[in-house]
Chain A
Amino acid sequence: MRPMSLRHPPVRSYSELIACHECDTLSQIPTLAPGRAARCRCCGSVLLRNPKGGLDRPIALYSAAFILLLLANAFPFLTLEIQGRSEVTNIFGASRALYEAGMGELAVVVFLTTIVAPALLITSSLYVLLAVRLRRPLPALRTLLAWVSQLQPWVMLDVFMLGVLVAFVKLGNMATMHVGISLFAFVGLILVSAAATSAFEPHLLWQQIGYRRGKPHAG
């Protein structure tokens, strides 16, 4: 791991305190029973959670999500039939159709939010969780963990699913639609990733990872 730069004097940290990220009120870090969450006494936002199942539950859920992600992208997603002709598409097909229609920018956005962001979120969460679980200081551990929380708003699997429902209704009058294996995997992926997100608390991981070399003295 990269050692901390020594240009700055050792900084004093306060590992027993936490500041609310919405109102900046200081609180003592509480010891939480599994399944409980601590809320800011000033504004009520969640400060810290202690999800049940420790590290093993999010590892199991993210592994399942990873498999479902592969399945969801490997098989036909929807098939449309009009007058004997049929058109099959998968999730990537949505981005490809936009690209082929000359909307490259849109294609990139759809590709990022439906495939790249979910894939990055699932793989980097899994990587970080395994590194902490096996107590290995794997490379880029901190960078990836910092990424995970930034990625969350760009993962739009659930929004895409709503789009599928709307497309169903819009095309229902003029064509017959068939559901592919991927659509079932996709629904499973949405449910499993929601469960994985709620079983994953980055704060607890940061506490276990600790400081870079050149540990600041505790305040």
Chain B
Amino acid sequence: MRARDVGLASCHSCGLLLHLPGAGHTHCPRCGSAMHFRKVNSISTTWAFLLAAMIAYVPANLYPVMTVVSFGKAQSDTIMSGVIYLFLHGDWPLALIVFVASVLVPLLKMCALVYLLISVQRKSHLRKHQRTRLYRIVELVGRWSMVDIFVVALLAALVNVGAIATIEPGVGAIAFTSVVILTIFAATNFDPRLIWDR
């Protein structure tokens, strides 16, 4: 038996179950947050954040995330060229982790959210368990994409040694951070219970 079918709503922040009359709104008597059967405007809000993330994804990959200036020479790195550098000069297990975190994860996360949204809008009955698990994974892995931004910040903080070398963060870093944050917002606004609604 499912909660909404018998008129019960559970609080988003504390989990208390309440009988909600009709489509009524009330506040949770335990934690005070607004109570709804489902997250409000879940599908359209998720689409909005997701489309914004997709737009930001283009400059995030085209523009450099940082520029290394050493001995008068400037060399710019995009997300992808940074990964390639790690493959060539660093150890490949680390390069693989960074490749997964900063190239694969954002791309697959956006694809997964598109799939979840479209399947929910078409009221699909297929693979509900797998889709719920997919959502769980999307929620968990999103934050790891921030790793490249932290690298840029650390390099900029450390390599500041006057004339020898400086590292400047690039425009791509802002776009890339926007992608990560917008997809995190998209994922938290999606309501996985919609997968199970008839």
Show the binding face of A for B, using Cβ within 8 Å: 2, 4-5, 8, 11-15, 17-19, 21-26, 42-45, 78, 80, 82-83, 85, 87, 89, 93-98, 101, 103, 105-106, 109-110, 113-114, 142-143, 145-146, 149-150, 153-154, 156, 159-160, 162-167, 169-175, 202-203, 206, 209-212, 214-216, 219
Count of A-B contacts judged by CB separation below 8 Å: 230
Q: Which of B29, B168, B177, B196 has the most A CB atoms < 10 Å from its CB?
A: B29
B112: interface (CB < 8 Å)? no
- Would you call B86 and A166 a contact (CB within 8 A)? yes
Q: Which of A14, A24, A210 contacts B2 (CB 8 A)?
A: A24
Taking the nearest CB of chain B, how far is it from the CB of A18, in angstroms?
Answer: 7
> Bound complex: CA of A5 vs CA of B154, how far in Å?
49
When distances are taken between beta carbons in the complex, the residues of chain A under 8 Å from B153 are 94-95, 97-98, 106, 110, 163
Of B42-50, B54-62, B114-122, B138-146, the segment with at least 4 beta carbons within 8 Å of chain A is B138-146
- Would you call A153 and B188 a contact (CB within 8 A)? yes
Q: Which of A24, A89, A159, A211 contacts B29 (CB 8 A)?
A: A211
When distances are taken between beta carbons in the complex, the residues of chain A under 8 Å from B150 are 94, 110, 114, 156, 159-160, 162-164
Q: Which of B128, B143, B149 contacts A110 (CB 8 A)?
A: B149
B81: interface (CB < 8 Å)? no
Given A18-B10, A80-B161, A216-B18; 13 other pairs, CB 8 A cutoff: A13-B16, A14-B18, A19-B3, A42-B196, A98-B169, A101-B156, A114-B150, A142-B31, A146-B14, A163-B148, A164-B150, A210-B30, A216-B29
17 residue pairs A–B, Cβ–Cβ below 8 Å? A21-B192, A24-B193, A26-B6, A43-B129, A80-B161, A87-B157, A98-B156, A106-B173, A110-B149, A146-B31, A146-B33, A159-B144, A163-B149, A166-B151, A172-B90, A206-B15, A215-B29
When distances are taken between beta carbons in the complex, the residues of chain A under 8 Å from B193 are 21-24
Show the binding face of B for A, using Cβ within 8 Å: 1-4, 6, 8, 10, 12-19, 26-27, 29-33, 85-86, 89-91, 94, 97-98, 101, 128-129, 132, 135-136, 139, 142-144, 146-162, 164-165, 168-169, 173-174, 177, 181, 184, 188, 192-193, 195-197
Q: Given the known A-B contacts A23-B195, A109-B181, are A12 and B19 also in contact in the complex, defined by CB atoms under 8 Å?
A: yes
Taking the nearest CB of chain B, how far is it from the CB of A40, in angstroms?
Answer: 10
Taking the nearest CB of chain A, how far is it from the CB of B98, in angstroms?
Answer: 6
By beta carbon, the residue of chain A nearest B66 is A101
- Would you call B16 and A206 a contact (CB within 8 A)? yes
Taking the nearest CB of chain B, how far is it from the CB of A116, in angstroms?
Answer: 15
Q: Given the known A-B contacts A101-B169, A159-B150, A162-B147, are A143 and B32 also in contact in the complex, defined by CB atoms under 8 Å?
A: yes
Q: Given the known A-B contacts A26-B2, A87-B161, A206-B31, are A169 and B91 also in contact in the complex, defined by CB atoms under 8 Å?
A: yes
When distances are taken between beta carbons in the complex, the residues of chain B under 8 Å from A167 are 151, 154-155, 158
- Would you call B157 and A163 a contact (CB within 8 A)? no
When distances are taken between beta carbons in the complex, the residues of chain B under 8 Å from A175 are 159
- Would you call A106 and B155 a contact (CB within 8 A)? no
> Bound complex: CA of A83 vs CA of B150, how far in Å?
25
- Would you call B3 and A24 a contact (CB within 8 A)? yes
> Bound complex: CA of A101 vs CA of B135, how far in Å?
37
Taking the nearest CB of chain A, how far is it from the CB of B116, in angstroms?
Answer: 12
- Would you call A19 and B17 a contact (CB within 8 A)? yes
> Bound complex: CA of A22 vs CA of B17, how far in Å?
14
Q: Which 4 A-B pairs have the closest CB atoms?
A: A163-B150, A97-B157, A19-B3, A94-B153
Taking the nearest CB of chain A, how far is it from the CB of B183, in angstroms?
Answer: 11
By beta carbon, the residue of chain A nearest B187 is A153
- Would you call B29 and A145 a contact (CB within 8 A)? no
> Bound complex: CA of A19 vs CA of B159, how far in Å?
52
By beta carbon, the residue of chain A nearest B185 is A153
When distances are taken between beta carbons in the complex, the residues of chain B under 8 Å from A82 are 159, 161, 164-165
